Amino acid sequence: MASTSDAENVEVCRTRLCEEFAGVTGTDIGVAQCYMAENDWNMEKALNSFFDADMEKVFEEEWTLNQEPLTKTQKVGENEKTPEVTTVDLTAESPTKTSQKPPEDEDGGSGLTLLSWNVDGLDVENLAERARGLCSYLVLYTPDVVFLQELIPAYVQYLKKRAVSYLIIQGGEDGYFTGMMLKKSRVKLVASEIVAYPNTQMMRNLLIADVTLRGANLRLMTSHLESCKAHSGERVAQFREVTRRMREAPDDVSVVFGGDTNLRDPEVTSVGLPPAVCDVWERMGRPEHCRYTWDTRANCNKRAPYTSRCRFDRVYLRPAAAPQAPRLAPDHMALVGLEKLDCGRYTSDHWGIYCSFAAAHANDNPM
């Protein structure tokens, strides 16, 4: 017969699991208890059951109906402009560009353009329209590389249907996960891998892709680091692994890491950036209009009863060091997703980060 203490330990464990489930899915403890109990208190099974029940239905109608082109108002930095986004059909390799993008060669040049965004696929409200919102930004900016966090299977299937000019790499198959999108006309995949974080309690990992861009070797890395203040220790350990892999990459490779890091500045200080690694926002002069990527004062998606302004989403760069290797240097940064969709909500509860990098050789010393 089980002792009273054993029963108490089980209860404590199950309460913790319910709290984690509720935190990940944005539900309450009651919903969490139902899903956890129905799935024998297995977190992964419970999350999969939750997502499967709601998410496929969200996009079912979207896949079967023809959509009208989505027009949006885009805001970059502190200056508002109102060009129209011509379409969300991404089958064309070279959609119409607008004056909002930084100047570039007609063929895209030898630099790199990047969009990093936590798209909040866990939020099922207006998800189809918000996914179309993401596609409108892909048309507007046509980034070479896209880092995405909080993807779910239905969201990926939608992107595969609409964004055919991109190769999509997934950081997982079930629950929620990260992903990368590589523009097929410019970025060639060499290899990819998923690095597990052994102590994560939130299904987090590190997605890595080795690619070439106009003869330059790049290592692309994205992750969604552990969330919440209580998990600072695990988040710091994950970030330490990220910086180690950036530091140990070959000298002829430029490394770009970006994602929803959930980092606080003291946590970064405790780890310390390797000498060759820079925070792109800091390197760009700490522009105030790009400081807060999670801003409940400006973003109403979560209907938060409090004000929280944090720089959770970050991009880091380690340029190649080999003398003849093309070397990246950041030259532009902006937040995207700053205006509401027709549904009255934003594309995500996070703002996205758009960056561009110029290319030179190490002996040109662009940094």
Positive or negative, the CA dihedral 46, 313, 353, 366 is negative
**Does the structure show a pLDDT above 80 at 203?**
yes
Instruction: Compute the distance between CA of residue 296 and CA of residue 305 in angstroms, rounded to an integer.
Output: 9
- Whether residue 69 is contained in a domain is answered as no
- Whether residue 241 is contained in a domain is answered as yes
Asked if residue 117 and residue 35 are part of one domain, the reply reads no
pLDDT of residue 4: 61
Asked if residue 300 and residue 206 are part of one domain, the reply reads yes
Q: Which of 18-32, 45-59, 90-104, 198-212 has the highest mean pLDDT?
A: 198-212
Q: Domain holding 224: CATH number?
A: 3.60.10.10
Positive or negative, the CA dihedral 356, 360, 361, 364 is negative
Asked if residue 89 and residue 52 are part of one domain, the reply reads no
The catalytically annotated residue of 120, 210, 260, 349 is 260
Q: Cβ distance 271 to 239 under 8 Å?
A: yes
Asked if residue 197 and residue 141 are part of one domain, the reply reads yes
Query: Half-sphere exposure of 233 toward its Cβ, with a 13 Å CA cutoff?
Result: 3
- pLDDT, tens digit, 9 for 90 and up, residues 266-280: 999 999 999 999 999
Percent of the chain with pLDDT over 90: 65
**Does the structure show a pLDDT above 70 at 3?**
no
Percent of the chain with pLDDT over 70: 79
Per the structure, the complete domain to which residue 312 belongs is given by 74-364
How sure is the predictor about 364, in pLDDT bands with cuts at 50, 70 and 90? low
Which of 17, 42, 64 delimits the end of a domain? 64
* CA trace torsion 286, 221, 172, 292 (10° rounding): 0
- Write the Ramachandran bin of 110: left for phi over 0, alpha for psi from -120 to 50, otherwise beta: alpha
Number of domains in the chain: 2
Q: Domain holding 20: CATH number?
A: 1.10.8.10
Asked if residue 203 and residue 106 are part of one domain, the reply reads yes
260 is catalytic: yes
- pLDDT, tens digit, 9 for 90 and up, residues 70-106: 332 333 333 333 223 333 344 343 333 333 444 444 4
Q: Cβ distance 327 to 320 under 8 Å?
A: yes
Asked if residue 136 and residue 28 are part of one domain, the reply reads no
Asked if residue 80 and residue 60 are part of one domain, the reply reads no
Asked if residue 134 and residue 30 are part of one domain, the reply reads no
pLDDT of residue 362: 54
